[in-house]
Amino acid sequence: MLILASASLSRRQMLQNAGLDFTVETSGVDEDEVKLSLIAEKATPQDIAETLAELKAKRVSMRRPGALVIGADTTLACNGRLFDKPPTMAAARTQLQALAGQTHELHSSVVVAQGGARLWHCNERARLTMRPLPDRFLDAYLARAGEAVTQSVGAYQLEGVGAHLFAKVDGDYFTILGLPLLPLLSFLAGHGIGLENAA
């Protein structure tokens, strides 16, 4: 049995598109509390992503000991500042204004756990450079993207109209969407989970 310990629609879609048979079970980890603690300990953005991914995977795997459980997390850092999902459209606008014309880093981590123990993990990083974003453009972007901007760190989905925000992207596409998919598929194939094993 394969379980995704994430409420992320993007991660769910990636696994579905890859033809995997899985269920979704959220972990209940208080991500904000964990982040605050890690930031106080001067953890790096990559460490934060990996710790959260591992906590999610382990928490669900303790409830489902026979399953392989996938946990994932992504952090966004720009000029020494960590960004979270914006809670409102107004917050999304403020966040985009801070990222405009800058290069930021996305750190994505994926962990697979079983029976409360981490079996495997992979960390990936991508660098994205946003165009300058004049007010008129931001108005048009936010109107078109809608409330979806509050569902992702950085207030964009690269697979949609968010592509208009960028001048340059360096890194794996799936990593930018929030899941280092290709290394994960290789790991799962080694554990008998793949297209050749699908029902």
Catalytic residue numbers, as ranges: 73
Rg of the Cα atoms in the chain: 17
| Number of alpha carbons in the 13 Å side-chain half-sphere of residue 95 | 24
Angle, CA of 26, 89 and 12, to the nearest 5°: 30
Contact 28, 93 (CB under 8 A): no
The count of other CB atoms within 10 Å of the CB of residue 67 is: 19
Cα–Cα nearest to 100, from 145, 171, 165:
165
CB 54 within 8 A of CB 158: no
Q: What angle do CA 47, 86, 11 make, to 5 degrees?
A: 60
Contact 87, 32 (CB under 8 A): no
- Residues 191, 196, 198, 199: is their CA dihedral positive or negative? negative
